[in-house]
Amino acid sequence: MTPFWEGNMKKTERINDMLIFLKNKRYFNLKDLMTRYDISKSTALRDIQSLEEIGVPIYSELGRNGSYKIIENNVLSPIYFSVDEMYALYFSILTLNGYKTKPFNVESIALENKFKHVLPDNVSKNISIMELTLSFEVTNHSNFSPFLKEILQGIFAERVYHLTYLKKGEEKALVAQFIRIE
């Protein structure tokens, strides 16, 4: 099997990728990491220790068929972004300003402020400069959609809806399943 990454991957990049690789796994073997990242046993052990240090709940089961188990938790692990990825995410956040209704319980200005506070000073300064010099054309979506969040949750759950509406004063019924929001 060829390794996941050809060439030398920096430790921080490898740990970040391991967070993604292990995200939905219940268990893994040392060999899985050694093969995927083309690393030695001692490097894999150090990487597991690094994962534990940043809060990944891992424990080992000893023995011939031993493995590493990941305790299920619903806490999102920290993820590290490059500067360009942070710029892209920030400007994606700004596009939310064009929507009157958002399917999330968050105001885009609060999200924007929170994002700016975790950025390094030089990146935050560059974003301020980019805001003044870059112009993004964002379509203004002024329709109020009080059920947008529920519809989005229904798409996730593949829910079927029984809808009633008025058309020319007459009540109509419709069975629908939303698959996309445009």
In the chain, what are the domain boundaries?
11-70, 83-133, 148-182
Residue 75 contacts residue 43 (beta carbons within 8 Å): no
Alpha-helical (H) ranges within the chain are 11-22, 30-37, 41-53, 83-95, 108-118, 121-133, 148-157
Residue 70 contacts residue 26 (beta carbons within 8 Å): yes
Number of H helices, E strands in the chain: 7, 5
Place 180 in a pLDDT band, splitting at 50, 70 and 90.
Answer: confident
**Torsion sign (Cα): 2, 7, 8, 10:** negative
> What does the pLDDT look like over 64-94, one tens digit per residue?
778 898 887 655 556 677 888 888 888 877 7
Percent residues over pLDDT 70 in the chain = 81
Q: Which tops the pLDDT comparison, 6 or 39?
A: 39
Which CATH code fits 11-70?
Answer: 1.10.10.10
> What does the pLDDT look like over 14-46, one tens digit per residue?
988 888 888 878 889 999 999 999 999 999 999
pLDDT in the model for residue 104: 67
